[in-house]
Amino acid sequence: MLRIFSFRHTAGLLRSLLLLVGLAGAGAAPAQQHQHDAPAPKIRAERPQYGTSAAFAANGALLAVTRQGDHVMLYRSEDLGKTWSAPIVVNAAPEPILADGENRPKLLALPSGSVVVSWSRRLGKQFTGEVRIARSADGGRSFAPPLTVHRDRQEIGHSFETLIADRQGRVYAFWLDKRDGEAAKNAKRPYRGSAVYAAVSEDEGASFRHEARVADHSCECCRIAAALDTDGAPLIVWRHVYEPNVRDHAMAKIAADGTNQGIERATFDGWKVDGCPHHGPSLAIGSDGVRHAVWFNLKDGAGRVFYGRLPPGRVEGQRFVGGPQAAHADIAISGQRIAIVWKEFDGERTRLMAEVSTDGGASFQTVSLAATDKISDQPRVLLRGDELFAFWRTELEGMRAFPLR
Amino acid sequence: MMRLFTVLVASAMSLSAWAGTAFQTLDRQSASALVQPARHNRPTIVALWSSECPHCKKNLALYAHVAKRDKRLRLVTIAAEPAWAGLAVPLDKLGVPGERYAYSEDAPEAIAHALDPGWRGELPRTLVFDGRGGHVAVSGVLDEQTLRRALGLPGTTRK
């Protein structure tokens, strides 16, 4: 144990040192963190994490949050990602942050100019964390100290959070929570997966008044998708664990106090696996109430990204998105325009691909937007007013935005 | 500061050498070579795992158990992430023997595709070679009986 401790201690020192090195060049965008002219150490201090989220602020600036050492950093671009400002430190006090795959810092840019940033703070034990939120009342120039969203403070899993604001300015946080799984384990009862929890803030994330369990038995490592329904209430979709181990999706409407207004099954692919898909869904709802979704599942022996519409109790128009290597799709809607983005390995390079519809989803045009040779993050669709953009961070090219016309 | 950095990197590396077998890195070429069925003339497990995958531990524990019981078995683990200071800890804790690989700086999608084009990133993923040219790829937690059948090994030894 002593040896393991000293090993971890060394890793911790290394982490701190790398943070110092990283902060010394804080004016550079994340792509420039890697010095390609210097030989990289064979063993990194920690797992490389490229998880980044972006959103357009009310004034049109593109904001992005990502992790740098033990800090979440907010970057700002006034020219659609061509150049980025020196980053703002979101959490002044350092803390371990998860920013990998489906679990990454998020941000909400509210019409009032406030910016809400969330992340999962890693706790001591493996697979444990807590959901943190920090608010900026000045458009992301400075942040109040972060708060922990959930009341449960056990050293267990609370992570994979998602944020959405409704038209009244309420901020909803949804996350995957292991408290019910832990309680079952202590009582020697079986429990499938994690639970989805919700908390609601009525002061733009400065505090959270309501907390509720949305559903038992979610998957443990897939992001939660959220969109506002036509009645203004959030609708969320997550990968569920149906008995005994079927990883299809479930959907729930959320009330203003965080409680669910009924849970329905959203997909019917029947992927049975005791494993971690690391591949969550995305949802966009039209003004006509049509729920457009993209998701990943293994169906008929092949893992594919799907698009479909989700009327209650069934899927309409389910089809493949991209080829057999398509992955991590995201979807957004603006009037009659719908955009789907994903990444896809073409045998040599990883491509950023998009499908754009201008007729409410009746037809889609496929376009290849970019390609990269090394590590790339999952792409996202962003809205600036009614314009749609793809956002993609890659190791070599940095953070970029691509208009989707 | 660079001197301190070098010392720290060196101590991290020597500690990881203590902690277990050193990781070898895989790029798309070496990944492709590693999974050629013709290369496996004895029962072989190629176990894909990652440090962020709770389900992976169950498989790694089973594979360590089977490898200890059956000396004909070759066990190869591949972390689907670049080597970092804490990566060996789960393998060491579970006493997982065998060659250890981690991703190189090559594109992760390219390495994954070279290992198994049917694999879409879900973990654990296991490639099982029976040593006679046959192989299967399985996602998720495996039971010992299924594993032994795929390996062409008789019997079950674990309750």
Using DSSP, state whether B91 is helix, strand or coil.
Answer: helix
Which helix (H) or strand (E) covers residue A66, if one does?
A: strand A62-68
Give the residue, A308 or B18, on which the prediction is more confident. Answer: A308
| pLDDT (mean) for A223-229 | 98
User: Above 60 in pLDDT, residue A38?
Assistant: no
Q: How far is CA A346 from the centre of its chain?
A: 24
Nearest to A258, CA basis, from A151, A137, A135, A154: A151
Q: Looking at the DSSP assignment, which residues form a beta bridge with residue A97?
A: A121
* Reported confidence tier of residue A18, pLDDT bands at 50, 70, 90: very low
| pLDDT (mean) for A95-103 | 90
Each of the 159 residues of chain B gets a pLDDT tens digit; together they read 444 444 444 444 434 333 467 999 999 999 999 999 999 999 999 999 999 898 999 999 999 999 999 999 999 999 999 998 889 999 999 999 999 999 999 999 999 999 999 999 999 999 999 999 999 999 999 999 999 999 998 876 665
List, for residues A175-193, the tens digit of each pLDDT value. Answer: 999 999 999 999 999 999 9
User: Above 70 in pLDDT, residue A10?
Assistant: no
Average pLDDT of chain A is 90
Q: Are B28 and B114 in contact (CB under 8 A)?
A: yes
Inter-chain contact B1–A17, Cβ cutoff 8 Å? Answer: yes
Inform me whether the C-beta atom of residue B27 falls under 8 Å from chain A C-beta atoms.
no
Lowest mean pLDDT across A142-156, A249-263, B84-98: B84-98
Beta strands in A266-315 (DSSP E): 282-285, 291-299, 302-309
Task: Specify the DSSP class assigned to residue A156.
Answer: S
Q: Residue A309 has what pLDDT?
A: 98
Inform me whether the C-beta atom of residue B20 falls under 8 Å from chain A C-beta atoms.
no
Inform me whether the C-beta atom of residue B118 falls under 8 Å from chain A C-beta atoms.
yes
Class of domain B22-151: alpha beta
User: Above 80 in pLDDT, residue A354?
Assistant: yes
Inform me whether the C-beta atom of residue B154 falls under 8 Å from chain A C-beta atoms.
no
Inter-chain contact A11–B12, Cβ cutoff 8 Å? Answer: yes
Q: Residue B21 has what pLDDT?
A: 77
Nearest residue of A to residue B138, measured between CA atoms: A273
User: Above 90 in pLDDT, residue A132?
Assistant: yes
Nearest residue of A to residue B93, measured between CA atoms: A4
| pLDDT (mean) for A208-237 | 97
Q: Residue A64 has what pLDDT?
A: 98
First vs last C-alpha separation in chain B: 53
Q: Which residue has the tokens 């929570």?
A: A177
Give the start-to-end residue ranges of the domains of chain B.
Answer: 22-151
Cα B115 from Cα B107, distance rounded (Å): 13
**A147 residue type, one letter:** L
List, for residues A321-335, the tens digit of each pLDDT value. Answer: 999 999 999 999 999
Cα A10 from Cα A172, distance rounded (Å): 39
User: Above 60 in pLDDT, residue A28?
Assistant: no
Angle between helices B2-19 and A2-24 (to 10 degrees): 150
Give the residue, A247 or B7, on which the prediction is more confident. Answer: A247
Q: Looking at the DSSP assignment, which residues form a beta bridge with residue A260?
A: A254
Q: Looking at the DSSP assignment, which residues form a beta bridge with residue A132?
A: A119, A148
First vs last C-alpha separation in chain A: 57
* Reported confidence tier of residue A42, pLDDT bands at 50, 70, 90: low
User: Above 80 in pLDDT, residue A51?
Assistant: yes
pTM of the model: 0.88
Q: Which of A20, A34, A42 to mutate to test the interface with B (most CBs of B within 10 A)?
A: A42
Percent of chain A with pLDDT over 70: 88
Which helix (H) or strand (E) covers residue A184, if one does?
A: helix A179-186
Using CB atoms, which residue from B54, B58, B83 is nearest to A44?
B83
Q: Which residue has the tokens 């995305």?
A: A282
Q: How far is CA A398 from the centre of its chain?
A: 18
Q: Are A220 and A180 in contact (CB under 8 A)?
A: no
Q: How far is CA B65 from CA B73, B96, B141, in A?
A: 11, 8, 15
The tokens for A325 are: 């290597």
Inter-chain contact A47–B19, Cβ cutoff 8 Å? Answer: no
Inter-chain contact B83–A275, Cβ cutoff 8 Å? Answer: no
Q: What angle do CA A367, A370, A375 make, to 5 degrees?
A: 135
Nearest to A281, CA basis, from A313, A244, A308, A260: A308
Cα A110 from Cα B37, distance rounded (Å): 55
* Alpha-carbon gap: A62 to the closest alpha carbon of chain B (Å): 27
Inter-chain contact B122–A43, Cβ cutoff 8 Å? Answer: no
* Alpha-carbon gap: B70 to the closest alpha carbon of chain A (Å): 25
Inter-chain contact A275–B113, Cβ cutoff 8 Å? Answer: no
- Chain A CB contacts of B12 under 8 Å are 7, 10-11, 14, 43, 45
- Using CA atoms of B152, B155, B158, B159 in order, give the dihedral in degrees to the nearest 10: 130
Nearest to A163, CA basis, from A196, A200, A193: A200
Cα A253 from Cα A114, distance rounded (Å): 25
| pLDDT (mean) for A155-176 | 97
Nearest to A197, CA basis, from A150, A266, A247: A150
Q: Which residue has the tokens 């997909």?
A: A267
Cis peptide before B124 (omega within 30 of 0): yes
Q: Residue A41 has what pLDDT?
A: 38
- Chain A CB contacts of B105 under 8 Å are 40, 374
| pLDDT (mean) for A3-23 | 34
